[in-house]
Chain A
């Protein structure tokens, strides 16, 4: 029974979806154009722009740095966030609302403002440890995602299973690893993936805290877009889009539509 969606609506939705994917598809087309500048429709076929990008040491350095940063941030966010989610869901804490408010407020305050506030604080403290500053800045915004998704999975844990296991004589560590862990693992995994993506994609915080030796991919891309016009930018953009598609497939495979629930 599909009549609740009229044919006219389907056409409208089709057009909107085309517009939604257009800015992701057009760079792909441009990236194989055998012209020294961007022109639509693309002319000829070449993969030399991809070669140029992959051979570029600056691009590689940025990519590796972003991976390193995102990995550290994900680790720190999980280390802080998982116990915090456990504390929030398993204990009745007076002032819980205030704590929750504090945890979620980095999602409300504009990122560009959080970034500038941190820069000003680090300047005041006389700090020059760029990597540490970037890790701190990114962790502030990744924590809410981790805590939200881990809390959601902890709330779904069936307490009866734990009670049953302990009644039958399972010591606490068996309950933890055999009963609780399998139930919260998807939430922790989702939180980890989200914080990796948020850190890897961050622009508005990095723009204040990064320096020439610690230069994440989004900042690098931006400088390339500002200074050059050949299709190699389209090639970098396409590589980023492939990377994202890969992530979509992995997430779809692992979580199914729970991605939709987490994003809303």
Chain B
């Protein structure tokens, strides 16, 4: 801040104070003042943070840790807890063909959702970062608007499109496809809706990353004769990887734990892990097994965060080592 700025600021705030004298002070400002003067004590920082920390410790950390503990216990047929630790629940999860198939399907759908979301996100992110302000604004609002629409409504929207008498079948018939495939209640329906629901989570960090790329690098490549496509492949893509990693790890985590979308669009034929948790706990009342699946889900999410973020950041460091 320069000297002139300070003079300017003091001038304007003294004006503010002069105006203040004419206004009688309300009890609200007195209260705020009391609160503010408390902020000078030695432990004030901790006092301010403590309610939230205690709240989250009691209602988040404690329940989640209890659940992890519960997954290591067993119960007898009549529902009574058995003493001691066991890995029985996890062994059951991996040895039963049915459960293992659901696990594999969850990983497959989460991976494919991430892949397709990334594919669709690039054109959108490039337009947001490099298009004119009006275009960028239009794309941003259109991408973010669905986020404010409830996930049940969005899944229902896809149901009306993918239905046997839905919009997609109608469009395909117009195009002359005589026997259009019915996608509703298949894995494809789940995949399409997941990509739609989670697309903004890749687009936004990606647009941020592309916006930070120095335009002169692109221009240099163009001047040196690179086509648009090779500029994308050799400049934009590698330099946008950190943003992509953030987005993809988010999409993977969210779609691996998706419950509503697979329930509405996958029907009873392609449950994911979320559905399995709900069945085990609300229908079969098997808490330890449900806890084990939940713990596995947490582990998958943490692993995806570690893998995408750490791996890509190391690659990124190597690829751009020469550029810096």
Contacts and interface: CB of A to CB of B under 8 A. Distances in A.
Interface of A: 2, 4-6, 9-10, 12-13, 16-17, 19-24, 26-27, 30, 37-41, 80-81, 83-84, 86-88, 90-93, 99, 102-103, 105-106, 108-114, 116-121, 124, 136-137, 139-140, 143, 147, 160-161, 164-165, 167-181, 197, 201, 203-204, 207, 217-218, 221-222, 225, 233-234, 237, 240-241, 244-245, 247-248, 252, 257, 259-260, 263-264
Task: Tell me the dominant secondary structure on chain B's binding face.
Answer: helix
Interface in B37-53: 37, 39, 44-49, 51-53
Given A121-B63, A179-B13, 16 more contacts: A2-B132, A30-B160, A40-B166, A80-B55, A90-B39, A99-B49, A113-B67, A116-B291, A120-B63, A137-B59, A161-B9, A164-B9, A173-B25, A173-B33, A176-B36, A178-B16
12 contacts: A17-B143, A22-B167, A27-B157, A40-B160, A40-B170, A120-B291, A121-B66, A160-B6, A201-B148, A207-B278, A240-B149, A264-B208
A140 B6 contact: no
B101 interface: no
Interface of B: 1, 6, 9-10, 13-14, 16-17, 20, 25, 28-37, 39, 44-49, 51-53, 55-57, 59-64, 66-67, 70, 120, 123-124, 126-127, 130-132, 135, 137, 139-154, 156-161, 163, 165-167, 169-170, 193, 196, 199-200, 204-205, 207-208, 215, 218, 228, 253, 256-257, 259-260, 263-264, 274, 277-278, 281, 287, 290-291, 294, 297-298, 301-302, 305
A-B residue pairs, 4 tightest by C-beta: A173-B33, A23-B157, A91-B45, A87-B48
Contacts of A37: 165
A113 B257 contact: yes
Contacts of B167: 22, 26, 40-41
* Of listed B48, B127, B153, residue having the most chain A CB within 10 A: B153
A229 to B, nearest CB: 10
Given A5-B130, A5-B131, A20-B196, A248 B141 contact: yes
